[in-house]
Amino acid sequence: MLKRIKFLSVLIFLIISFANCSKQQNVNFIFITGSKVKLMSEPSSKSKRLQYVKCNEIISHIEEVKVDNDRWFKVKIGKLTGYIENSREDKEEISVFYKNVSKECGVALTDPVEVYSILNATTAPLFKINRGNYFYIEAQEGDGDSWLYIKTQSGKTGFILGSQILRGDLKAVQTISKSKLEKVDAWVQVSVDKPKFLNIPGPSGRLVTKKDPAKCTHRLELYPKKNGFAPVSEKISINGINYFHVERMFSSGCGCEGGINAWISEKDVLFIPDFFAYSLKQNQTHLDKNLLELLNREIAGNLNAATVNIKKVNLGEIMPEAEFFKVRCEKGDQTAFGDSDTVAYNYFLVAKRNNKYLVLHSMKVSDIDKDDCMNSSQTRNYWNEELSYLIIRDIDQDNKFELIQLDSGEADLSFIVYRFVDGKYKKIIQFGVGGLRCVAFDDIRKMDFRHIVFFKNCYGPKGKKTEWMPVVKLDRPPFDKKYENNEIRVLEFKDGEYVEIDADGSGLDFKKSYNESLPCTDCPNTENFACKAK
């Protein structure tokens, strides 16, 4: 009985020891990308520091060790043996490469793919791999959608970006390398109930997963269902069957919202080489064909004629005997790609004279109707379907109308003022506007934009720097009691440009001090101040 108890005690001890100090042998090597990585004498942050590891060093003599909840690498550098911590804080300093246990190979898609000696695509490449050539993937960083360590057929090694290649077993990539890849600008419409979106073209392809590479986050729910559409950038024929490369990034005012990146067989889709011709055939439209053809050229093809929205506007006397229109349209069937907050629209200001159309101004925006990236419930009412991205205003009352284009950023907005010069609208001033997060676009559209008011805004550590920021209340004189007696400056629109007026009698010169670093004293909070100014 006593022997049995001793045996169980030893067994429990070994299990606990294994759990507290486990070893994993799947790490191939680590690449040091920072200059603050420490080599310690023991797997503990309290142990002795032996040295700092050199940046851009590859360490291959490695053993992965887990002590309690901490992960460490046991390494040998020269004659020293020590430990490097693999913590969350060190992710920007250390890149971990894992063995390619699946024996995947790669084939270059672009011509050429550049191979580097370090993990930095801005450095000079070691060598290049021409499109169609295949190579062996020795190791991958993380789950493989970033950097890969590869070996060519001739034995050369280096690092490449995983997004530039196709991956598969040796037989699959050899087949792809022998097939002709063709660049196209087209669309497909899904024709089956269960379309198969594959990681590589051909019979060896598997269904894509969210771990496969795509621009920003790979979102499987954004792939089109039956009767849905997707843009095509490339096609390839393998064993007599065409495969189409569908790739797209979905963005809004907050940046990238996700992406798709896959191949699909011609058996699952209808190929649409020209979406413009397809949309004209599918939909009856009363719009002038000359206008539609102009819009199609402006967006480089694939106009969806069914999405064209046109509205007559007044631009005054900028062009005698002409009519003017705001036009919104889409490229392809973009509404097929998920929610409305990922849809990009093309906007144009068009003149019609003597039955000919001329584009005076163009812009592209994202519909962020459901977006909340600016941390305000009022942002939900900013963007609508009334073509409100472009404000038309006769600022100086000369019956020649200016344009004010609103542009969204991750936190603030900016506006750009255009004036009609030599047959086109040209930019005359642009400002990033701080503190717009609590001001609705309805208020902005009511402004006359004749005066732009600036106040001193603190930013940076402990308010050591200042800059002159536009206040969103673009008001009329007098200004002195509007802004809690803060030091301000004012630009006024005169003779087609903005010039400074000494509105508060300070004698300050806007042109000399804008964006300078100045002592910061009693500056208002940007967001709250903008709300009060409204």
Question: Alpha-carbon distance 510 to 518, whole Å?
Answer: 13
pLDDT tens digits along 231-247: 999 999 999 999 999 98
Among 313, 365, 363, smallest CA distance to 334 is for 365
Instruction: Please give the average per-residue pLDDT across 239-258, as a whole number.
Output: 80
Structure token pair of residue 38: 């420490």
Among 210, 221, 472, smallest CA distance to 342 is for 221
User: 24-38, 265-279, 346-360, 434-448: which has the minimum mean pLDDT?
Assistant: 434-448
Say what the pLDDT of residue 358 is.
94
Q: Which residue has the tokens 């005359």?
A: 428
Say what the pLDDT of residue 416 is.
84
User: 268-272, 292-296, 519-523: which has the minimum mean pLDDT?
Assistant: 519-523
Q: How confident is the model at residue 30 (pLDDT cuts 50, 70, 90)?
A: confident
Say what the pLDDT of residue 249 is.
78
Residue 439 has pLDDT above 50, yes or no: no
Say what the pLDDT of residue 201 is.
93
Taking residue 44's Cβ as centre, other Cβ atoms within 10 Å add up to 14
The residue with greater pLDDT, 65 or 441, is: 65
The residue with greater pLDDT, 322 or 69, is: 322
Backbone angles phi, psi at 334, to 5 degrees: -65, -25
Among 393, 430, 395, 427, smallest CA distance to 409 is for 430
Q: What string of DSSP letters covers 435-490?
A: TGGG--HHHHHT---SEEEEEEEEESGGG-EEEEEEES---PSP-TTTSTT--EEE
Instruction: Please give the average per-residue pLDDT across 507-524, as a whole number.
Output: 38
Say what the pLDDT of residue 89 is.
54
* 207-221, 289-303, 389-403, 509-523 — most confident range: 289-303
Contacts of residue 121, defined as CB under 8 A and 6 or more positions apart, other chains included, come to 114, 161
Say what the pLDDT of residue 95 is.
85
Q: Is the pTM of this model over 0.75?
A: no
- Angle among Cα 194, 195, 200 to the nearest 5 degrees reads 140
* Helix (H) or strand (E) run with residue 327 in it: strand 323-331
Q: How confident is the model at residue 461 (pLDDT cuts 50, 70, 90)?
A: very low
Q: How confident is the model at residue 505 (pLDDT cuts 50, 70, 90)?
A: low
The answer to whether 471 and 454 have CB atoms below 8 angstroms apart is yes
- Angle among Cα 251, 255, 257 to the nearest 5 degrees reads 50
Question: Alpha-carbon distance 63 to 76, whole Å?
Answer: 9
* Helix (H) or strand (E) run with residue 186 in it: strand 181-190
- Angle among Cα 219, 225, 227 to the nearest 5 degrees reads 140
Question: Alpha-carbon distance 149 to 137, whole Å?
Answer: 6
Question: Alpha-carbon distance 489 to 479, whole Å?
Answer: 9
Say what the pLDDT of residue 125 is.
93
Residue 248 has pLDDT above 70, yes or no: yes
Backbone angles phi, psi at 192, to 5 degrees: -125, 160
Question: Alpha-carbon distance 101 to 123, whole Å?
Answer: 29
User: 118-122, 176-180, 247-251, 509-513: which has the minimum mean pLDDT?
Assistant: 509-513
Question: Alpha-carbon distance 231 to 213, whole Å?
Answer: 17
Say what the pLDDT of residue 523 is.
35
Sheet with 356-366: list strands edge to edge: 303-313, 323-331, 344-353, 356-366
Q: How far is CA 504 from the centre of its chain?
A: 42
Residue 510 has pLDDT above 50, yes or no: no
Structure token pair of residue 247: 């790739």
The residue with greater pLDDT, 340 or 1, is: 1
Which of 423-445 are b and which e, b meaning 16 or more Cβ less than 10 Å from the residue's Cβ? eebeeeeebebbbbbbbebeebe
Angle between helices 275-282 and 289-298 (to 10 degrees): 150
Say what the pLDDT of residue 132 is.
80
The answer to whether 432 and 409 have CB atoms below 8 angstroms apart is yes
Which regions of 228-300 does DSSP assign to beta strands (E)?
A: 229-238, 241-252, 255-265, 269-272
The answer to whether 124 and 165 have CB atoms below 8 angstroms apart is no
Say what the pLDDT of residue 454 is.
65
The residue with greater pLDDT, 91 or 405, is: 405
Mean pLDDT of the chain: 75
Query: 104 in helix, strand or coil?
Result: coil
Question: Alpha-carbon distance 149 to 417, whole Å?
Answer: 49
Q: How confident is the model at residue 131 (pLDDT cuts 50, 70, 90)?
A: confident
Question: Alpha-carbon distance 313 to 73, whole Å?
Answer: 67
pLDDT tens digits along 480-496: 444 444 556 677 888 88
Question: Alpha-carbon distance 358 to 402, whole Å?
Answer: 17
Residue 477 has pLDDT above 80, yes or no: no
Question: Alpha-carbon distance 442 to 434, whole Å?
Answer: 17
Upstream peptide bond of 477 is cis (omega within 30 degrees of 0)? no
pLDDT tens digits along 338-388: 333 445 678 899 999 999 999 999 887 654 433 434 333 333 333 343 334
Say what the pLDDT of residue 363 is.
82
pLDDT tens digits along 322-339: 999 999 888 887 543 333
The answer to whether 295 and 237 have CB atoms below 8 angstroms apart is no
Residue 441 has pLDDT above 60, yes or no: no
Q: How confident is the model at residue 445 (pLDDT cuts 50, 70, 90)?
A: low
Say what the pLDDT of residue 486 is.
52
User: 259-268, 388-397, 448-457: which has the minimum mean pLDDT?
Assistant: 448-457
Instruction: Please give the average per-residue pLDDT across 409-428, as a whole number.
Output: 77
Q: How confident is the model at residue 81 (pLDDT cuts 50, 70, 90)?
A: very high
Question: Alpha-carbon distance 240 to 251, whole Å?
Answer: 36
Q: How far is CA 295 from the centre of its chain?
A: 26
